[in-house]
Amino acid sequence: MPKVVDREEQRRRIGAALLRLVAERGLDEVSVRTVAAASGRSPGAVQKYFRTKEDMLTFAAELAGERIEQRMAGVSTALPLREALRALVLTTLPVDAERRAEATVQLAFAVHAAHHPRLAAIRRQVDQEIRQALAAWLASAGHESHATAVADAVIAVSDGLALRMLYAPQEHEQLLTALDRALNALVPGPGSRAEPSLGGTAPDENGS
Amino acid sequence: MPKVVDREEQRRRIGAALLRLVAERGLDEVSVRTVAAASGRSPGAVQKYFRTKEDMLTFAAELAGERIEQRMAGVSTALPLREALRALVLTTLPVDAERRAEATVQLAFAVHAAHHPRLAAIRRQVDQEIRQALAAWLASAGHESHATAVADAVIAVSDGLALRMLYAPQEHEQLLTALDRALNALVPGPGSRAEPSLGGTAPDENGS
């Protein structure tokens, strides 16, 4: 038993090193050799845990998916719906170093998945879980109508803004204004432009 | 003079071969060697036109940007605003082989730009032109309020949906429903859920 636990722990450490490498240098820099260096191991030691680069990437994508679920679970559903959605999207936007690393990894894996069926299957599974959770959340807050389509639209806005923020950090503020505009439009209600917010932390409405 | 023209033409042909390669196999497969093979040249011949991989990618990103501008120019502004916006976004979504190739290239370059300042500058310039064109379009159709933020939100939805469609082709229909939901919400007016459409080609409203 201790050996099994240790093996899983070693795989997780190598996976975490791979995610840091992608965040810092991009997915095209990942190889058994670079991941070995980043995790302080020999190439042979890495190959003891992952036979191919594809194996490493698949495991790292699963790790990244776990992180998304943890972040989603960390957003308080006690917040008004639109503020909760905003908080959720903000956890995925590259507005600080940690979230930038995470967004870089997610988007690099997403693009890579276009050519790699195993990664695509993991992404679709994660998307599916987020879609269902968001749709249930919208429905329970009285937005039953088109809940799935609204959930998919929120995911799309989130991914699209994250992508642009990665290479346009100087436009962060303008893009956060666009986020508020999209959420106001997709989830009208208390806190939207037409009605004053009930809470004290509604997004700034002074967009261009 | 003929030599200069020929040189530019050769660069464009190599750039086009690079774009095809990215579309088919992903950005991580691009090298002087693979681009040479894809364009029917020797590695030495490619390096006569591009000294580094970075030079090739930069030129190819400019070519891809030109294509976006051509597509935008091809959408009739005589259409009702929301239908025109829908047509515009559809030109960027990977719903057939040609658009899939184009979207793969665009998104691969966008993610790559996170680590490559020259590519980032090209992307920001293209985004800026699209943002301004969309905002002017929205304003001229009576949507002056928040035109820039709405334009950025439409760009984000478009990029986010394209990304997801790349690895989830089986969800295209559901994601097109999300597009209609987002456009209806962001650009309310004739054709939106509250009012019957004036035209005969309004998007299907029966989202889940």
CATH code of residue A172: 1.10.357.10
Q: Which of B27-41, B69-83, B162-176 comes out lowest in average pLDDT? A: B69-83
pLDDT in tens, A132-145: 999 999 999 999 99
Candidates B28, B93, B150: best to mutate against A (most CBs of A within 10 A) is B28
Inform me whether the C-beta atom of residue B136 falls under 8 Å from chain A C-beta atoms: no
Of A104, A110, A168, nearest to B163 by CB-CB distance is A110
Residue B187 pLDDT: 94
* A67 in any annotated domain: yes
Of B157, B159, B164, nearest to A127 by CB-CB distance is B164
**Could you give the ipTM of this predicted complex?**
0.85
Three-state SS for A111-177 is HHHCCCHHHHHHHHHHHHHHHHHHHHHHHHCCCCCCHHHHHHHHHHHHHHHHHHHHHCHHHHHHHHH
* A36 in any annotated domain: no
Inform me whether the C-beta atom of residue A27 falls under 8 Å from chain B C-beta atoms: yes
A208–B124 C-beta distance less than 8 A: no
Residue A138's domain spans which residues?
A: 53-186
* A2 in any annotated domain: no
Q: Which residues of A touch B119 (CB under 8 A)?
A: 167
* A133 in any annotated domain: yes
pLDDT at A205 over 80: no
Give how far B122 is from chain A: nearest CA, Å.
10
In total, how many domains does chain A have?
1
Rounded Cα distance between B164 and B172, Å, is 9
Residue B26 pLDDT: 86
Return mean pLDDT, chain A. 86
CA distance readout (Å), A139 to A16, A63, B75, B207: 36, 29, 36, 14
Contact predicate B107/B159, CB 8 Å = yes
* A172 in any annotated domain: yes
Closest CA to B24 of B131, B100, B85: B100
Of B114, B161, B174, nearest to A167 by CB-CB distance is B114
pLDDT in tens, B32-65: 999 999 999 999 999 999 998 889 988 988 888 8
* A85 in any annotated domain: yes
* B5 in any annotated domain: no
Of B27, B113, B152, nearest to A175 by CB-CB distance is B152
Rounded Cα distance between A157 and A152, Å, is 9
Closest CA to A131 of B204, B5, B177: B177
Rounded Cα distance between B18 and B104, Å, is 12
Task: Decide which of B93 and B199 is more confident.
Answer: B93
pLDDT in tens, A171-190: 999 999 999 999 999 998 75
Residue A99 pLDDT: 87
Q: Which residues of A touch B152 (CB under 8 A)?
A: 174-175, 177-178, 181
Residue B2 pLDDT: 57
* A131 in any annotated domain: yes
Q: Cα B29 to chain center, whole Å? A: 21
Inform me whether the C-beta atom of residue B171 falls under 8 Å from chain A C-beta atoms: yes
pLDDT at B15 over 50: yes
